[in-house]
Chains A and B, each alone.
Chain A
């Protein structure tokens, strides 16, 4: 459209190339040109039209052009042409003078507008795809936490309103947020990435192995975890009808992707000369809960636990498939049988309806369809 964008670098790519803007994806012009994607931004950004023109590298036009789209296109062509009417040139010069004085204001507006569009773009299909490539190339860095084993992180905002917080990094391995290590990111607004993006990203790409690089020496920790789980009194696992290795999804997440950096073996144990510091010491450990994760992930299936605790109290118990937030691969039949047996023992009236729900992630809708 505009010849200038072919000659020089486009505004978008030069913006994304700036120091400290390494986290930004280049929003496609198609996305920006679709007015639907810009809904509501006009009221948030001063000098909206000029800012939008700057982002798209469109030559500035007369104000009247707003009224008539067709005219705008025609004049656009005229701007590019060598021959221009004398009158037009004069107004255009005047405009350029005004723009020169306002340029810094418009530049600021353009950055704000681009950031807000960017927040929406990275949750769209092409945008999230673009961010995947940046994620794979480790453009956002890794988690600083030792037990996360350099797990790749994603940028996140703690607020969707601009001007509140700077950009942070979300680690899927410990489900926590961190300040970027380099201070140059402390001038980047978190709202330009938004609160939704990282969580939506990992909900979209469920096949990603987010665990980070496990050092070879974790064998001991794993063995310890295994001992812990074996030694755990039956009280906790008694209610669990499914062997943990058969579970493919808990609350909509594969167990190996549910906070892999947390749980036994990944919690720091303070020691003095080899002796653990007691919880009861005045400066003893108090924050282990933050890095805990049940050895048996089915403990997190709150719906099923609720109904097991309240079994037989009333007749509103949902059927199997609605109740279970756990998806099981091959052993589904086995699990059904066990549940059925236990339920019969409890004298519940509910029937094991279900009806071939399979392992669709849509299974995870909980109690909505109570019988």
Chain B
């Protein structure tokens, strides 16, 4: 550790990346390997994106030893965080990066889906743009395939480009087994027990769309990926309706 300490300020020079990923608000980031950071090829083009690029890179790789005033140091610090984020977006689509993010995903480090029907499905961070300073980070739920805003305001200010538009989709391409079974369960708005007509009509229309998609997939001999229990659920519903006819009627019908 002492090797990396310069004679200026130990706070800034000792294992900058450790400090960065463990500081509050940076929970979504994983640690980028030293080797990845020091391979110039991986940083292609970033020198035009980041101010004080060389100093920022030195800071990130713990070899920063420039004597400068606080204002300058702050600028470099800011650039270092930006640089780390941009490299992060590239790193997490590599094999090692994916594995690290998968571990964090399994631990629900990125939070859980707020949608009730998703049963606390772990989320993944994503950006809606690969260009820096466009939109803040969003969270992707693989169960309902939708995007959500982070709960905490300290995460809502992280740039989405630090995760990118592709990472979360690549993760499920590389680890298809991690893709959760999709659920057909949905919320049905009701008033005094009666379904609300407008919502129910839209729901039926959506169900038709879903069945059409299933037919398409069946035609292409692709697994639909829906929960097995969904089919049972529908059967149960039909059974319930039949029960009204009495036991004999139900027995005959079956």
- In the complex, A280→B172 CA distance in Å? 14
Are B165 and A271 in contact, CB atoms less than 8 angstroms apart?
yes
- Per the 8 Å Cβ criterion, residues 165-193 of B in contact with A are 165-166, 168-170, 172-173, 176, 179, 182, 186-187, 189-193
For residue A177, CB closer than 8 A to chain B, the reply is yes
- Per the 8 Å Cβ criterion, residues 11-41 of B in contact with A are none
- In the complex, A347→B114 CA distance in Å? 54
- In the complex, A293→B204 CA distance in Å? 11
Interface string of B79-109 (1 = CB under 8 A from A): 0000000000000000000000000000000
Are B213 and A289 in contact, CB atoms less than 8 angstroms apart?
yes
Task: Identify A272's interface contact among B144, B170, B222, CB under 8 A.
Answer: B170
Are B114 and A178 in contact, CB atoms less than 8 angstroms apart?
yes
Are B149 and A299 in contact, CB atoms less than 8 angstroms apart?
no
- In the complex, A146→B116 CA distance in Å? 16
B interface, by DSSP: helix, strand, loop or mixed? mixed
Are A280 and B173 in contact, CB atoms less than 8 angstroms apart?
no
CB distance from B43 to the nearest CB of A (A): 19
For residue B217, CB closer than 8 A to chain A, the reply is yes
Binds A, one of B70-78, B195-203, B236-244: B195-203
For residue A283, CB closer than 8 A to chain B, the reply is yes
Check A200/B207 contact, CB under 8 A, given A146-B138, A251-B201.
Answer: no
Check A286/B201 contact, CB under 8 A, given A170-B189, A281-B173, A291-B146.
Answer: no
A interface, by DSSP: helix, strand, loop or mixed? loop
CB distance from A180 to the nearest CB of B (A): 8
Check A259/B190 contact, CB under 8 A, given A271-B165, A288-B145.
Answer: no
For residue A47, CB closer than 8 A to chain B, the reply is no
Are A144 and B148 in contact, CB atoms less than 8 angstroms apart?
yes
Are A300 and B199 in contact, CB atoms less than 8 angstroms apart?
no
For residue B209, CB closer than 8 A to chain A, the reply is yes
Closest to B172 in A: A283
Interface string of A259-280 (1 = CB under 8 A from B): 1001000001011111001011
Check A287/B147 contact, CB under 8 A, given A177-B115, A200-B191, A258-B198.
Answer: no
- In the complex, A300→B198 CA distance in Å? 8
CB distance from A344 to the nearest CB of B (A): 29
Are B197 and A251 in contact, CB atoms less than 8 angstroms apart?
yes
Q: Top 6 closest A-B pairs, CB basis?
A: A289-B210, A283-B172, A251-B198, A146-B147, A287-B145, A253-B198
Residues of B within 8 A of A (CB): 114-117, 128, 138, 140, 142-149, 151, 165-166, 168-170, 172-173, 176, 179, 182, 186-187, 189-193, 196-199, 201-207, 209-210, 213, 216-217, 220, 222-226
Residues of A within 8 A of B (CB): 144-147, 158, 168, 170, 175-179, 181, 195-196, 198-200, 203, 250-253, 258-259, 262, 268, 270-274, 277, 279-283, 285-294, 299-302, 325, 364
Chain A to chain B contacts (Cβ below 8 Å), 21 pairs: A145-B146, A145-B147, A175-B202, A175-B203, A178-B116, A251-B198, A253-B198, A262-B202, A272-B170, A280-B222, A282-B176, A282-B179, A282-B223, A283-B142, A286-B213, A286-B226, A288-B145, A289-B209, A289-B213, A292-B206, A293-B202
